[in-house]
Amino acid sequence: MTLFLPSNPLSNRVPKTPQDFTKPNIVTIDVGGQLFQTTKQTLTLAGSNTLFSNLFNSSEQNNTIPFIDRDPELFSILLSLLRTGYLPSKAKSFEIQDLVFEAKFYGVQDFLVESQSNPSQFEAFDLEKSMILPLSGRDSPSAIATTLNGSVHVSHGSKITSFDWSLQRKSTILTQFSAVDSLLSLSSNVVAAGATDFSGLQIIDLEMGFVVKTLNWENVTKSGSTVQAIGSSPEFLFTSFESSRRNSNSILVYDLNDGFKVASEIGHNEIFGADLDSAIPSTKLNWVPSLNLLMASGSHSGPSGVSGNIKFWDIRSRDLVAEIKEKVDCFSDITVSDTLSAVFKIGMNSGEVSYIDFRNMSSDNSWNCLGVSRKAMNVKKEGLGCKIESHGNQVFCSKEGELELWSEVLMGSLTTGKNGKEERIFKQNVLGRSKDIGGNRITNLGFGGNKMFVTRKDQQCVEVWQSSVRRF
């Protein structure tokens, strides 16, 4: 999974005989008065348009040792990084900020990000609570958005605070929202933000600190359009809007590569009379790459309990491909895992995790409960406030302050269940050492880089969980 591979790292490294020095392959550099020797190959790894590539062009021309007026110790660390792809342990005598700054100077910051916050280093079974990121003010986090390289944006009250991939730097901006309910990062410093009490989806540039674009849904009632959920695929941004009068809703598909132009509109619902069930707005949007479908799910609480639906949309033809109606033990939260080819939910009544394999969704669409299935008829709402998210090969599920990790156990031979269908085995374990278990109710779960981010009710901070390997 590493994006860079040092090509045959040991060849041509150590000169065996003195005449090897004459080989143009070996480069000598003077950094701040200290001499370094390395190979062209190592330096070319940094890329074609960096300081290093200019370096040997000039040294070849006038046959002198190039001099760089920088700190030699920091250079030696970055040279090791180029050679091996990893930071040497002596880097720990510096702060990551020094390395980030120096790496920027040499144009090798991508290597640093790779070595420190690579998504391939995420290890679900080795996650431990490692860091607390404090937030200013008295507002608790309402939503989080993560990026692939492990930076995280947190909305708290009317503010959005961003932490960079090293989690050492932050910046805060003020928004027009009183609280952001949905937040999604579109690039390293652009987010889409929406709220259920605010009309329009805002595309905010966090670096500049202002709204780049506001997207509205022109609904029939000519009232405002609040945002119920945001999702994205590599090409599109999906937004579930509801009219401010709450009598119509729709999912808009915006083209990310074409200035947020509306690509299509799907699942437009309008409420006529009392048929409320027909027009539940989607509160969660998940893109399923392997199916090329958008999973849109929504629920509402009615006199007969909570009911909802899960719909799979083809965004090009705007066809409804499949639908799961949730009458009994409707989901409290839902997610889909592409790697596990399944939809996972937490039942509102049972509080138990269930799944449907989306490869063989049958007409009855029955859920496979991973816990005690008879709790489905519970009158208590045990699943209220629970969160479920999938990442990698695992499904993370929060119950109050506790975090559960569900993973599939591959048994070699297939087991067949009572109903004659092939049965998959998922097992659960509780995340964290005993001192880290529990706490206030978990309100958000996010994944980025090699880290997991957790926010809790009434806690003005973000918890960072990461693997112990290669942590700076």
Partner 1 sequence: MEDGLSNSTPSDRIKLNVGGKLFETTVSTLRSGGPDSLLAALSHRHHQSSNPIFIDRDPEIFSVLLSLLRTNRLPSTSRRFTDQELSDEASYYGIESQLKSAMLPNPLSGIDASVVATIRPASDGVVSAFTTIDDGSVWIAHGGQISVYDWNLTHAGTVRTHLDYITSIRQVTPSAMAAVACDVSSGVHFYNFANGRRVGSVEWTDPTDPRIYKARVTTITESPESVFAAFDSYHKENCVLAIDKSTLQVTSEIGRQSGSSSKSIVPGNLTYVKDLGLLAANAVTSGAFGFSGYIRFWDPRSARVVWETNEPGSGRSSRFGDSFADVSIDVNEVTMCKICSKSGDLAMADLRKLSDDPWIYLRDTNPSLRNTSGGISNSVVHCYKKQVFVGRDGGLEVWSRVAQNGEHNMEIGEESFRRNYMDKLEDSERGIIKKIEGAGERLFVSREEAEGLEVWQSSVFSGAVLVL
Residues that bind partner 1 (CB under 8 A): 30, 32-34, 51, 54-55, 58, 64, 66-71, 74, 94-95, 97-98, 101, 105, 128-134, 136-139, 157-159, 161, 163, 167-176, 178-179, 208-211, 460, 464
- From the list 128, 162, 127, the residue with the least C-alpha distance to 145 is 162
Spatial contact of 26 and 20, defined as CB atoms under 8 Å apart: yes
Dihedral angle, C-alpha 366, 351, 299, 309, nearest 10 °:
-10
Compute the least distance from the CB of residue 450 to partner 1, in Å.
15
SS3 34: strand
Compute the least distance from the CB of residue 324 to partner 1, in Å.
35
Q: For partner 1, which is the closer residue by CB, 21 or 67?
A: 67
Name every residue whose Cβ is closer than 8 Å to that of residue 273 and which is 6 or more positions away in sequence.
Answer: none
Compute the least distance from the CB of residue 239 to partner 1, in Å.
21
The Cα–Cα gap between 134 and 24 comes to 51
Q: For partner 1, which is the closer residue by CB, 33 or 289?
A: 33
Compute the least distance from the CB of residue 142 to partner 1, in Å.
11
Compute the least distance from the CB of residue 71 to partner 1, in Å.
6
Compute the least distance from the CB of residue 167 to partner 1, in Å.
5
Phi, psi at residue 242, to the nearest 5°? -130, 140
Phi, psi at residue 466, to the nearest 5°? -150, 170
The Cα–Cα gap between 16 and 374 comes to 73
Compute the least distance from the CB of residue 187 to partner 1, in Å.
18
Name every residue whose Cβ is closer than 8 Å to that of residue 207 and which is 6 or more positions away in sequence.
Answer: 171, 189
Compute the least distance from the CB of residue 139 to partner 1, in Å.
6
Q: For partner 1, which is the closer residue by CB, 48 or 304?
A: 48
Residue 14 CB coordination number (10 Å): 10
Q: For partner 1, which is the closer residue by CB, 100 or 285?
A: 100
Q: For partner 1, which is the closer residue by CB, 399 or 451?
A: 451
Q: For partner 1, which is the closer residue by CB, 166 or 228?
A: 166
The dihedral built from the CA positions of residue 317, 364, 335 and 405, taken in this order, carries a sign that is: negative
Q: For partner 1, which is the closer residue by CB, 157 or 281?
A: 157
- From the list 150, 141, 129, 133, the residue with the least C-alpha distance to 179 is 141
Compute the least distance from the CB of residue 333 to partner 1, in Å.
24
- From the list 123, 130, 167, 126, the residue with the least C-alpha distance to 436 is 130
Q: For partner 1, which is the closer residue by CB, 98 or 404?
A: 98
- From the list 246, 256, 240, 296, the residue with the least C-alpha distance to 276 is 246
Q: For partner 1, which is the closer residue by CB, 20 or 197?
A: 197
SS3 457: coil
Compute the least distance from the CB of residue 157 to partner 1, in Å.
6
**Given the DSSP bridges, would you call strands 225-232 and 236-243 parallel, antiparallel or unpaired?**
antiparallel
Total residues found in the chain within this entry: 472
Q: For partner 1, which is the closer residue by CB, 137 or 417?
A: 137
3-state secondary structure string across 209-221: CEEEEEECCCCCC
Compute the least distance from the CB of residue 65 to partner 1, in Å.
9
Q: For partner 1, which is the closer residue by CB, 316 or 471?
A: 471
Tokens 């975090």 sit on residue: 403
Residue 379 CB coordination number (10 Å): 7
Compute the least distance from the CB of residue 97 to partner 1, in Å.
6
Spatial contact of 257 and 235, defined as CB atoms under 8 Å apart: yes
Q: For partner 1, which is the closer residue by CB, 212 or 372?
A: 212
The Cα–Cα gap between 330 and 333 comes to 9
The Cα–Cα gap between 161 and 174 comes to 9
Residue 123 CB coordination number (10 Å): 13
